[in-house]
Amino acid sequence: MPTSTESPPSESTWKQRFRRGEIPDSRPASSGRKSALEKAMRRCRDKHSDAIIEPELGMEFDLLPEAFDFYNIYSWEIGFGIRYGSSRINPAKSKVRQDITCGCEGKPRHLNSRSVCCGCRAMIRLHRIDDYGWYIHEFRRDHNHGLAVNRGQKMQFSSHRFIDPHTKDLVRNLRDNNVGLTKTFSVIGSFFGSMENIPFKKRSLRTLCASISRDHSEDDIRKTYEVLSEMKMKVPNFRDSCLVDSEGRMRALMWTVRRRPRTAPGRR
Looking at the structure, tell me whether residues 140 and 209 fall in a common domain.
Answer: no
Region of 82 (left: φ > 0; alpha: ψ -120 to 50; beta: rest) is: beta
Name the domain boundary from 126, 160, 194.
160
Find the mean pLDDT for residues 149-173.
Answer: 80
Contact between 91 and 20 under an 8 Å Cβ cutoff? The reply is yes
Name the domain boundary from 160, 188, 218.
160
Contact between 75 and 81 under an 8 Å Cβ cutoff? The reply is yes
Looking at the structure, tell me whether residues 97 and 114 fall in a common domain.
Answer: yes
Is residue 2 predicted with pLDDT exceeding 50?
A: no
Backbone φ and ψ for 84, nearest 5 degrees, come out as -70, 135
Looking at the structure, tell me whether residues 146 and 205 fall in a common domain.
Answer: no
Instruction: Name the H helices within 94-201.
Output: 151-154, 165-176, 181-191
Between CA 93 and CA 71 the distance in angstroms is 25
Looking at the structure, tell me whether residues 146 and 66 fall in a common domain.
Answer: yes
Looking at the structure, tell me whether residues 76 and 53 fall in a common domain.
Answer: yes
pLDDT in tens, 111-139: 766 777 888 999 999 999 888 889 999 99
Confidence of residue 261 (pLDDT cuts 50, 70, 90): low
Looking at the structure, tell me whether residues 227 and 172 fall in a common domain.
Answer: yes
Looking at the structure, tell me whether residues 84 and 165 fall in a common domain.
Answer: no
Long-range pairs of 56-60 with CB within 8 A, sequence gap ≥ 24: 56/136, 56/139, 57/7, 57/9, 57/10, 57/13, 57/136, 57/137, 57/138, 57/139, 58/9, 58/12, 58/13, 58/14, 58/15, 58/135, 58/136, 59/135, 59/136, 60/36, 60/129, 60/133, 60/134, 60/135
Instruction: State which residues form the domain around 64.
Output: 1-160
Structural domains counted in the chain: 2
pLDDT for the residue 236: 78
pLDDT in tens, 36-73: 877 777 777 666 666 778 898 999 998 898 899 889 88
Looking at the structure, tell me whether residues 146 and 215 fall in a common domain.
Answer: no
Q: Which of 33, 40, 67, 39 is nearest to 54 (CA)?
A: 40
Between CA 9 and CA 30 the distance in angstroms is 26
Looking at the structure, tell me whether residues 126 and 143 fall in a common domain.
Answer: yes
Per-chain mean pLDDT for the chain: 79
Looking at the structure, tell me whether residues 228 and 264 fall in a common domain.
Answer: yes
pLDDT in tens, 21-35: 777 777 776 666 777
Looking at the structure, tell me whether residues 150 and 184 fall in a common domain.
Answer: no
Between CA 50 and CA 263 the distance in angstroms is 89
Between CA 155 and CA 214 the distance in angstroms is 27
Name the domain boundary from 160, 185, 203.
160
Helices 165-176 & 202-234 angle (0-180, nearest 10)? 60
pLDDT for the residue 257: 78
Name beta bridge partners: 123.
101, 140
Is residue 10 predicted with pLDDT exceeding 60?
A: no
Looking at the structure, tell me whether residues 4 and 130 fall in a common domain.
Answer: yes
